[in-house]
Amino acid sequence: MKLSFIKRKQRAAPDPARRALVLLGAQVAVMGTLAWRMRQLQVVESEQYLTMAEDNRINVQILAPARGRIFDRYGEPLADNRQNYRIQIVREQTEAPEETVRRLGDLIALSDETRERVLKEMASKSGFVPVVVAEHLDWKDFALVNANAPALSGVQPEVGLTRYYPEAEALAHVVGYVAAVTEEEIARDDTRDPLLTIPDFKIGKNGIEREAEAHLRGSAGARRIEVNAVGRVIRELDRDDGDAGADLNLTIDLGLQRFAMERVIGQSVSATVIDVETGDVVAMASAPGFDPNSFVFGISHSEWGALTSDKLRPLTNKTISDLYPPGSTFKMLVALAGLETGAISPHEKVFCNGRYKLGTRYFHCWRRGGHGHVNMREGIQHSCDVYFYDIAKRIGIDAIAETAFKFGLGEAGPLEIPNIKNGLVPTKDWKKANRDESWQVGDTLNTGIGQGFLLTTPLQLAVMASRIASGKRVQPRLIRAIGGVEVTPAPAEDLGVRPENLAVVRDGMNLVSNNRRGTAYRARIEEPTMHMAGKTGTAQVRRITTAERATGVIKNKDLPWEQRDHALFVAYAPVDKPKYAISVVVEHGGGGSTAAAPIARDILLRALYGEEPPLTAYPPEQRGLIEEERLQRALQLQAMEAEQASLNGAEGVRIWSASDIAAPPRPNPRPFDGRLAGGREG
């Protein structure tokens, strides 16, 4: 029994050889697995992991190219890139960040808010990431920091580029401005441009800056840099700066644009001047303006509030975005529609007794006693409402609308600028579709004098005037050259209007400005070789009741500003060989003859002479007043320049002499000599 138990115990004991074999097998399996995995890493997946290692060692950074500059037609800068002097701090390079910021504040002005922001950013970001302390410094402050840089550990003065608009308010609406790209704009970008991912990258937000963004932006560059394990830059391996944006030359004449803006200081006005031969927009003034540099550098809440609350609406480009009834400036097109359809001859007379009866309703003429018997030329000369009520009723709204479209109304047109309104030329179908009402004869009469549903932009009125002057389908344009290569406009097509009919309308416009009984005679150009043909207009902004007419219509000067009529004037000059066409709209200015026509006359004279015109170009009875206005305008500009110089910290503000004030110096436009974009050959 005992022997049997011992034998069983011996048989149950582990076999050493077998155990060794099991252990050896396990070791072989582990080594085999490791060998297989090493082969996978070193042979099969080696390229993938080599790339990953290289990415960890070498980073690629996107570089923003220089933005294309914008010039006027003579090469004067309108949007430029200037050096941006800024100061940065790298936290890991300074032992005492707070002390460094404090010492830096002893050299340049740093608000408590700025100091708090800088310290907060340094605490939240990696130690090797630079934090911007201040930018857009003047050279004096920048040089002061550079001189003390050895004693300011971690402080890095840096020079970059920023957008700058030297003309500020004068061309804010035309040129526009740039600002930082938003997340919404990145999401809408179909091109997936890597430039938009650069922090604080700026793109065009308005004006030419926005419309020509594709030309101005340029293409991204890149640089490869070597970094260590924590991402700190060791060295730059190579760099591709990309392609700078293309420079643009606009059709704008900076000297004329400045003059137009100066001429309407303190008013809400739009003025557009078009070269009749080429369609070049040589001036597009919308007053008041604003400083686009504020949007580049960061506009304050107070400045933004002041701009948005101003009743003169400085942020709106009135020339293309505001809609006005054209008033009597539309009467030339009604006359042409009547002549083209044969509904009336130029010599046929209509009797005006001050009102026109339609059923039981009366439509009134602006002149209470009427104009008597007038033909077409006289109807335009005196701006007789009854005359145009009569012919509008004869020809109907469809013929009027067809002519209006032909002369550029009711469509935005091809101008290279965003936010252009179409305006409105009403038709029977339009009223039915939009108001679910039938067209009435009274609607036609209102349209016949430029009121009712009819709406136009000041740009469209300037196009209308240029087409009347030329007989061609003039198309306005703002871009004259891209990258030094001139953009050649297509030849303007013929309007398809009979020349003899255009001649009648032009005769009427000539009488408006150059006949003693014309509505704009007091705003005439005295120099015979530069006579102006024009048409006044007054657009009502309120309804005049029957009771008010019975007691006498309240004069504009006795009404609140917002209830006064808009004043309009369209013109071209010289009469014999038209060169420029113009439209002027003075918001709530009252009468077109008194408020808008003198402005148009002065701007046209400046365009024709190329400099301050002589007093002999003005009517003799107004020369003293013109001289006084020039003096007042010069004094205003002097005060503004002195104030700006004071704000900029300039030293030695210029004191103007008496001769300077009598005829303030302005840059004179040079004849086009083929040089584009600041002097480069086109």
* Top-confidence range, 33-37, 197-201, 462-466: 462-466
- Which of 233-242, 322-331, 430-439, 504-513 comes out lowest in average pLDDT? 233-242
CATH 3.40.710.10 fits 254-610, yes or no: yes
Answer whether 61-250 and 254-610 agree in fold: no
Q: What span, in angstroms and rounded, lies between the C-alpha atoms of 69 and 529?
A: 38
Whether 178 and 204 have beta carbons less than 8 Å apart is answered as: yes
Given a cut of 60, is residue 51 above it in pLDDT?
no
Whether 604 and 580 have beta carbons less than 8 Å apart is answered as: yes
pLDDT tens digits, one per residue of 633-665: 788 778 877 776 776 554 333 333 333 333 333
Given a cut of 50, is residue 294 above it in pLDDT?
yes
Given a cut of 60, is residue 8 above it in pLDDT?
no
Say whether 247 sits in a helix, a strand or coil: coil
Query: What's the token pair of residue 426?
Result: 């009403």
Q: For 434-460, what is the mean pLDDT? A: 95
- What percent of the chain lies above the pLDDT cut of 90? 52
Given a cut of 70, is residue 138 above it in pLDDT?
yes
Given a cut of 80, is residue 526 above it in pLDDT?
yes
Q: What span, in angstroms and rounded, lies between the C-alpha atoms of 471 and 389?
A: 25
Given a cut of 80, is residue 356 above it in pLDDT?
yes
The CATH code of the domain at 61-250 is 3.90.1310.10
503: confidence class by pLDDT, cuts 50, 70, 90: very high
Instruction: Check whether the bond before 613 is cis (ω within 30° of 0).
Output: no
Residues 6+ positions from 335 with CB-CB distance below 8 Å: 376, 379, 380, 388, 391, 504, 505, 508
Tell me the average pLDDT of the chain.
84
- Which of 17-26, 99-108, 307-316, 355-364 comes out lowest in average pLDDT? 17-26
Given a cut of 60, is residue 316 above it in pLDDT?
yes
pLDDT tens digits, one per residue of 202-260: 899 999 999 999 999 988 877 777 766 545 556 767 777 778 899 999 999 999 999 99
Compute the C-alpha angle 328/333/336, nearest 5°: 130
Q: What span, in angstroms and rounded, lies between the C-alpha atoms of 123 and 97?
A: 9
Please tell me which residue, 243 or 29, carries the higher pLDDT value: 243
Whether 101 and 115 have beta carbons less than 8 Å apart is answered as: yes
Residue 567 has a pLDDT of 94
SS (H, E, C) 499-521: HHHHHHHHHHHHHHHHCCCCCCH
679: confidence class by pLDDT, cuts 50, 70, 90: very low
Whether 400 and 388 have beta carbons less than 8 Å apart is answered as: no
Residue 666 has a pLDDT of 35
Q: What span, in angstroms and rounded, lies between the C-alpha atoms of 386 and 232?
A: 82
pTM equals: 0.80
How far is residue 521 from each of residues 5, 380, 427, measured CA to CA in Å?
142, 13, 35
- What percent of the chain lies above the pLDDT cut of 70? 84
Residue 67 has a pLDDT of 92
Map out the domains of the chain as residue ranges: 61-250, 254-610, 622-674
